Amino acid sequence: MALVALVLVLVSASFAQAAPVTWHASSTLSTVHDPRDLLSGLEVGTIWSLTVTFDPASAARTLAPGCNEYASGATTLVLGGYTYTHAGGSTYTNAVLPEYGCTPASFPNSPPGLIAFTWGPSWTQEPGAWNLNDPFSLLVAGYYDLNATDGSLPYHPVLNPNRGQFHGLDFNHFYNDMGFAGAFEPRALEQPTPVPEPATMAMMTAGLAALAARRRRVAGR
Q: Amino acid letter at 150?
A: D
pLDDT at 3 over 90: no
Buried/exposed 12-29: b ≥16 CB within 10 Å, e otherwise = eebeeeeebbbbebbbeb
Q: Chain-wide mean pLDDT for the chain?
A: 83
- Per residue in 63-100, pLDDT (tens digit) is 999 999 999 999 999 999 999 999 999 999 999 887 77
Rounded CA-CA distance 118/103 in Å is 16
- Residue 215, judged by CB atoms within 10 A of its CB (0-12, 13-18, 19+), counts as exposed
Rounded CA-CA distance 68/81 in Å is 34
pLDDT at 219 over 90: no
Q: Global pTM?
A: 0.79
Q: What would you measure as the largest C-alpha separation in the chain, in angstroms?
A: 88
Rounded CA-CA distance 208/23 in Å is 36
Taking CA atoms, 208 is separated from 15, 94, 148, 218, in Å, by 16, 44, 37, 15
Total residues belonging to the chain? 221
- Per residue in 139-154, pLDDT (tens digit) is 999 999 999 999 999 9
Q: Amino acid letter at 75?
A: T
Q: What's the pLDDT band for 191 if we cut at 50, 70, 90? A: low
25 vs 194 pLDDT, higher one:
25
pLDDT at 220 over 70: no
Rounded CA-CA distance 171/179 in Å is 5
Would you state the pLDDT for residue 200? 45
Rounded CA-CA distance 168/142 in Å is 5
